Structure formats: structure tokens, C-alpha cells
Amino acid sequence: MTIALNHTIVHSKDQQAAAEFLAQILGRPAPTRFGPFLVVDLDNGVSLDFLHHDEPEPQHYAFLLSEAEFDEVFGRIRERGLDYWADPGRSQPGKINHHDGGRGVYFPDPSGHFLEIITRPYGSGG
């Protein structure tokens, strides 16, 4: 039997703004409606299903990208003037990391979730 993550629910103060933000930053198609959810589909068959919540608990979502995709997404982060950090402790503002020979950066979404883009899985060597 193969087990794969299919979707997860992302609680958001402003469901529309959060779903559109993620889709635009990652260069994904516009979110689609499924019942009370706004769904952002990713390439690996997983979706993030955004749902309104008055006080969402901040979560962390990391996205594995190719080097070229990293350049595109990081370009959109900078174009928007978003704060970003090389580390989850936010002690290295305006920098990227090079863990495992790749690149990574952390940035916030409109609901206070901490998003991350990386080009190599942690622990993969490099």
C-alpha cells in the first residue's frame, strides 16, 4: 500500500487573501472553491485547503522547489517587499541559507503562518 498526503487545512484570518497570496507567490493557478474551502493545488497531488478561522494558530509550511523555481519565487518575495530570513528564529533577516548545498528562505503569509522555500531536503547532504 502506498500512503501519500492528499491535503491539509490551513486556517486563515482572510481565506481569500491567504489562498491568493500562496498561489501567486508559488506561481500556482488561482485557488478553486470546494465547499467552504479555497484550494491551492501543488504539483505532487497535495492541496492546501484554506478555511476561515478568526484566530489561526501560526503553522509552518515548507515547499521543495527546483533551483529555477526558487529564483522565481524568491523574486516574487523581493518584488513584494516581504520580510524574509535565512532561519526560523528570524535572527538572519534579508538572507538565505545554504543548508545541504541548496538554498532556503523563510517568510510570513497574511495569516501569520511561516512559509519556507528550499531547494534541497534537510539532511540530504551537500
> Would you say residue 124 lies in a domain?
no
Cβ–Cβ under 8 Å, residues 39 and 47? yes
Q: Is residue 22 part of a domain?
A: yes
Tens of pLDDT, residue by residue over 91-126, are 999 999 999 999 999 999 999 999 999 999 999 986
How many beta carbons lie within 10 A of that of residue 63, not counting itself? 17
21 membership: H or E segment, kind and range: helix 15-26
60 within domain boundaries: yes
Separation between Cα atoms, residue 104 and residue 73, nearest integer Å: 11
Total number of domains in the chain: 1
Please tell me the distance from the alpha carbon of residue 120 to that of residue 20, in angstroms, as a whole number: 26
Total residues found in the chain within this entry: 126
85, 91 in Cβ contact below 8 A?
yes
Note whether residue 1 is domain-resident: no
CATH code assigned at 110: 3.10.180.10
Band of the pLDDT at 28, cuts 50, 70, 90? very high
